[in-house]
Amino acid sequence: MSMNAPRGTQDILPGTSEKWQYVEEQLADLCRRYHYKEIRTPIFEHTELFQRGVGDSTDIVQKEMYTFEDRGGRSITLRPEGTASVVRSYVQNKVYGLPNQPTKYFYMGPMFRYERPQQGRMRQFVQFGIEALGSDDPAIDAEVLSLALNSYRELGLKSLKLVVNSLGDQESREAHRAALVRHFDPHREELCADCQVRLDQNPLRVLDCKKDREHPAMETAPSILEYLNDYSKDYFEQVKQYLDVMDIEYVVDPNLVRGLDYYNHTAFEIMSEAEGFGAITTLSGGGRYTGLVQEVGGPETSGIGFAMSIERLLMALEAENVELPTDEGLDVFFVSLGDEANRTAVKLTDELRRAGIQVDKDYLGKKMKAQFKAADRLGSKFVLVLGDQELENGVINVKNMASGEQQEVALDGIIEHMQKELTGGK
């Protein structure tokens, strides 16, 4: 029996976890500026939610979900993505009836998909995403695209490409769907087994197939842009105008699709163009959708959102050599010698911590030289030295590890002194 972590999962250890914390804090702060509020949903849901919300014909539902039967005989699935759970919560809690609309959420947490693990793609991965529900305004599409792009820019990424497309409304999609079937049907037997099924269930997903991407029929497939009705064309033009107003560069790609049935109008992806990032360049994707709220029992409501993998974000930061400003050093390390001094050190360590100062001390009974080495390894800014002599005199020795300067400070004034030292005397 293996005692290692299951395949496709990972331990995020100190030294790396600080990067995750920094990224997550920056993303949450950005969402607050856009007035998106955090929502936290269960890690597992009823399987039917994803079957209906993600789609029976998708690879996620057919091949990748972690599904099991609980002790009550109910089919339960670990969430493979965030949108369906957010929409379920929106409907269950009747948020659509609240006066302040649209409803704007962000979420962050682990998702689970059974797929072949590779760099930046795990079976348990962390997804950050947003959903804006209850508005058909093209301006909110542009807002979501802006937030998505700024999620990367504000962390220091520069080699980015925003690709946009329109999937049109229901009328436009039905016309395009019929054209796709006419186009691919003569080549049906040449397509992979999955695409033969997709051609009947959701032909738009044929365009997104990784196995058949080199098939000649892909290059000549009819574009959705050829089938947009006037309303859909106007909607897409407005989205692009808003992007232009915000000086957001983008590329229109008629082959960009979002394969789920409920997507319509705006679809987009953000890609990394950094050298050495890898063959799969997509960082995040999203789009506008209708029908999903109704599918889980709510009123007719449209929405738009996107999702990104934190793992792939960190990969992109590494590819562009972006150093995150994570402070892994320690404020204070306490060196104490003698039983009485050690008891006083425990007391002062606790008081310093409650005063907001990051403190650690020796718990292995090391000698003074070894304790100083430990302080140096931990990157401590200051070392407090307390022995029997200092204790008798009511003072403590404070050493600045950067300058090497030392000074004696009264024991009863050490907290105030360290607060001033660590804030530059303020």
CATH no. for residue 112?
A: 3.30.930.10
Q: How far is CA 129 from the centre of its chain?
A: 6
18 assigned binding-site residue:
no
290 assigned binding-site residue:
no
Domain boundary among 297, 319, 341: 319
Residues 306 and 340 in one domain: no
Q: What angle do CA 304, 309, 313 make, to 5 degrees?
A: 115
131 assigned binding-site residue:
yes
User: What φ, ψ does residue 286 adopt, rounded to 5°?
Assistant: -170, -175
Residues 300 and 339 in one domain: no
- Kindly state the tokens that stand for 94: 């009747």
Q: Which domain holds residue 361?
A: 330-422
**Would you say 23 and 310 are in contact if contact means Cβ atoms under 8 Å apart?**
yes
Q: Where are the alpha helices (DSSP H) in 17-82?
A: 17-33, 47-53, 59
384: exposed, middle or buried (C-beta count within 10 Å: 0-12, 13-18, 19+)?
Answer: buried
262 assigned binding-site residue:
yes
113 assigned binding-site residue:
yes
Give the count of domains, the chain.
2
**Do the strands 67-69 and 37-38 form a parallel or antiparallel pair, or are they unpaired?**
unpaired
Those residues whose C-beta lies under 8 Å from the C-beta of residue 72, and which sit 6 or more positions away, are none
Whether residue 217 is contained in a domain is answered as no
Whether residue 64 is contained in a domain is answered as yes
Residues 112 and 33 in one domain: yes
Those residues whose C-beta lies under 8 Å from the C-beta of residue 359, and which sit 6 or more positions away, are 330, 331, 332, 333, 334, 349, 352, 353
Instruction: Fill in the DSSP letter of residue 380.
Output: E
pLDDT of residue 114: 94
Domain boundary among 269, 299, 319: 319
Whether residue 365 is contained in a domain is answered as yes
Concatenated DSSP letters of 1-16: ---SPPTT-----TTT
Residues 147 and 277 in one domain: yes
For residue 137, give the amino acid letter: D
pLDDT along the chain (426 residues), means of 10: 87 93 97 98 95 74 89 96 96 96 97 87 95 97 98 96 94 88 86 83 78 82 90 97 97 81 88 82 92 91 96 94 86 93 94 96 92 94 94 94 94 94 78
Residues 234 and 151 in one domain: yes
Domain boundary among 319, 347, 382: 319
Residues 386 and 285 in one domain: no
Instruction: Fill in the DSSP letter of residue 413.
Output: G
- Kindly state the tokens that stand for 265: 């109008």
pTM of model > 0.85: yes
**Nearest residue to 292 (alpha-carbon basis) of 134, 123, 122:** 134
**Nearest residue to 133 (alpha-carbon basis) of 306, 308, 305:** 305
Whether residue 1 is contained in a domain is answered as no
Whether residue 194 is contained in a domain is answered as no
127 assigned binding-site residue:
yes
CATH no. for residue 370?
A: 3.40.50.800
